[in-house]
Every structure is written in structure tokens, then in C-alpha cells.
Amino acid sequence: MARPVDKNAVPAVTVPRLTMYLRKLRELQARGVERVSSKQLAGMIDLNAAQIRKDFSYFGEFGTRGVGYEVDRLVDEIKRCLGLERSWNVIIVGAGSLGTALARYRGFAEQGFKLTAMFDASHKKIGVSFGDGRCVRDVADLERFCEEEDVDIAIVAVPGHAAQSIIDRLVGLDPERRVRAILNFAPVKVFAPRDVVVRQVDFSSELMFLSFYLDRES
Amino acid sequence: MARPVDKNAVPAVTVPRLTMYLRKLRELQARGVERVSSKQLAGMIDLNAAQIRKDFSYFGEFGTRGVGYEVDRLVDEIKRCLGLERSWNVIIVGAGSLGTALARYRGFAEQGFKLTAMFDASHKKIGVSFGDGRCVRDVADLERFCEEEDVDIAIVAVPGHAAQSIIDRLVGLDPERRVRAILNFAPVKVFAPRDVVVRQVDFSSELMFLSFYLDRES
């Protein structure tokens, strides 16, 4: 008998891997693949099979030796575990080139992330449309917006020198209202209280992956 | 005695982890930390210590039980392994909001990635400066540029429908001249010959990491 997932039992260490499994499993679904073994998955995503079996063990004992895991069921379990069965309200702070690019990024809506507002400090940008008839708001209204609306996640795409003060404002609100998750694209290390989750995006690491291969070949 | 790194012995599976180790080890360097154990690192970057020891074993046997690894030496070995001891010529195809944001991204130059040209198909963008007095080129000149200049890595930041044809053009050149590494930001799966390395960037997976935490708390 499979036991239900206890989300709190799944350690944070597995999360980056879960997103990777999910992407690969959805590809398999799209190709009509019904079952996959840990060994097959290991070959596809560059991880060892034992690690994969350990990660999946949090979802109950439904892998069968020699038969593998049900792809549909794994997708459902991972989505549930990642909190992707509901939608999340997202704001973007910074309507520069990166913020604008992120606002147009199709993948967000497809995964249940709903862009509810965008903010900037520049009068050249405030009032400009960013899609669906909505306009960039004045960052001076950031606190009021967060107090009146449910904001789950803030994407910070401001210049490095401005990032920490924006984050301080987002997390400085009443604990009931404050933003509890931040995706920081500014190229600086930022700090937030322990109960606020912060992810730092670093494009350089993607390029390092490529340089590894190029250096090896040349 | 430590043996020199044989780059070809380091499997691709370790590369995303090497970039993560490098970032953390540089933080430790900046804080003046001289030695670190696999167990300490494991706690900092959410991986198990055995995996870390296995990854570092490719750099020779210079970790000492109870004493740990020399931080400086690890940084050097990882940089060498990732091909970060030389510089790489990078072009960006697509001067839209994302391409422009990437052209301004400071981290690239710091890691030895040199932006040599930027291309677009729109006459509104061709000729516009993207920094250091250089201007966006007509994408019609893409092949000629790649034939005349050394291009190591192409960042593709065009709309999804245009991505594959750009990649076909980049990899369709004479084997000596063609671009051997591609970082694709277009939200579509793209294909390239086996000897061309392709990395796909997906911003959604970063948001999934946050939704995991939010869902757990709520």
C-alpha cells in the first residue's frame, strides 16, 4: 500500500532534483511512456539511480523492481509535493529589460504562477502596459499593494544596489501580509528573515556548464 | 601524492554540482576560510557528503580525514575543470528585453565570458548600442560573423518560433567555424548535432522551488 506524501518529510535537498524529474517525466508523458525505472531516469538526467530511488521513496513505495515507476503517478506526486496544484500570485519589482522579459515569460502561467503586478521607480516606466491591459505601478505603492492583495512570491529584477532595500520593504510588512518568497535576479547576495525563502538566479553557472564542454574538446 | 586532473575523466553529471561548489567555495575564500570538510560543505549546499567526496575525488586525493579540503586548491581545480582559466567569446542572438538584459549582466565578464556581438532581425534594433560603443548587428550577417570571428558560445534569446532556425544556422556552418555551445533561453525544446552542447534555461523551475516552501508552510 502506498502511503500519502507527507510534504514536511521531503527535505529541501530534493527540490532542485524534483523540478528536474518533473520536466523529464512530462516529456515522457508527452511521448506516451507509462513506466520508467530509476536506472532509465538516471541515464536521462545525469544522477545516480540510488539517489533517484531515495528521492522517490518520499512518495511511498510504489516503484516495483524490474517494472519501474508509473509516470503519471510520479508527475502527480511531484506536483503535489512542489505545491503546483494551486496557483500563486507573483509580482515583479523592476520593469527594466530583465523584468520586462520575465513578465513576458510564458512558462510561468503554464505552471500556475500568476503575475498580478509589476513595479518600477522610474516615471518613464510607471503607467506603461506590460500585457493584458495592466500597467507598471509606482514602487512607492509596493507596501500598500502587498497589504491589500495576496502576494505569494516577489521577483526582484532591480539593479544590484537597490535589491536589498526592496527586499527589506517586502519583508518588513506585518507578518500576516508580508511576502514570504523572493526570487532575486539582482547580481548581489541579499538577506531576508529566516522564514522568508530566497532564491538567487545566477546566469553565469549556465555558461560554466558550456565552458566545461568546450574546454574538454579543444 | 595528488594526481593532476584528467578533465576527460570528470563526468558531465558533476558539472552542475561543480558550479555550485565553486560559488560556495568562493564565498568561503572571501570570508578567509582555508579548509572545509565534505560534511561542512554538505550542510551548506544541500547534498550528501559522500556525493561531494566522490565528486572531489576526480581532483586527486587531497582531502584529509578530519582536516578537510584546502579551499584555495579546490577553487583552482574546479576552475581548471570547468574551463574557466581562459576566456570565451560569446554572442547573443535576439536583442529583445531578455537579450538586452543578458548583455548587461555583469557576472559574465567576471567569469571570463566576453560578449563580442549581438544580433537582431528588427531594423528598430539593428545599429542600437548595447554597451562599450558596440551596436546590434543584422542577424543576416550571423554566418559571416561566425566565419570571420571566433565564437565559442551563442546565447539564443529570440522568440520560441525563431529559435530552431537560428540554431540551425549557427550549427550549419563549416565544422571548423561553427558554434559548438548554445545557451537557449527560448521556451522551446531545440535540437542540435551531437557534438554541439545545448543548455536550456527554464525560469519556472526557480519558481517551483519557492512554491514548494510556500505550500509546506501554508
Task: Choose among A15, A47, A203: nearest Cβ to B105.
Answer: A203
| 8 Å CB contact of B204 and A108 | yes
pLDDT in tens, B161-198: 899 999 999 998 888 888 999 999 987 778 899 889 99
Alpha-carbon gap: B114 to the closest alpha carbon of chain A (Å): 11
Interface mutation target, options B59, B199, B210, chain A, most CBs of A under 10 Å? B210
State which residues of chain A have pLDDT below 50.
Answer: 1-2
Q: Is the pLDDT of residue B117 over 90?
A: yes
Chain B residue closest in CA terms to A181: B210
All cell numbers assigned to A218: 579543444
Instruction: Return d(Cα B138, Cα B118) in angstroms, integer.
Output: 9
Task: Sort B25 into a burial class: Cβ within 10 Å, 0-12 / 13-18 / 19+.
Answer: buried
With contacts defined as CB-CB under 8 Å, which chain B residues touch A11? Answer: 46
Rg (CA), chain B: 20
Cβ-contact A171, A178 below 8 angstroms: yes
Chain A residues within 8 A of B180 when measuring between CB atoms: 213-214, 217
Question: B199 vs A209: CB contact, 8 Å cut-off?
Answer: yes
Cell of B114: 566576453
Q: How far is A35 from chain B (nearest CA, A)?
A: 22
- Tell me the H-state helices in A31-69: 38-45, 49-57
- Residues of A in Cβ contact (< 8 Å) with B15: 208-209, 212
Model pLDDT for residues A119-144, shown as the tens digit of each residue: 999 999 999 998 778 899 999 999 99
Checking ipTM against 0.85, whether it exceeds it is no
Q: Cβ atoms within 10 A of the Cβ of B101, count? A: 21
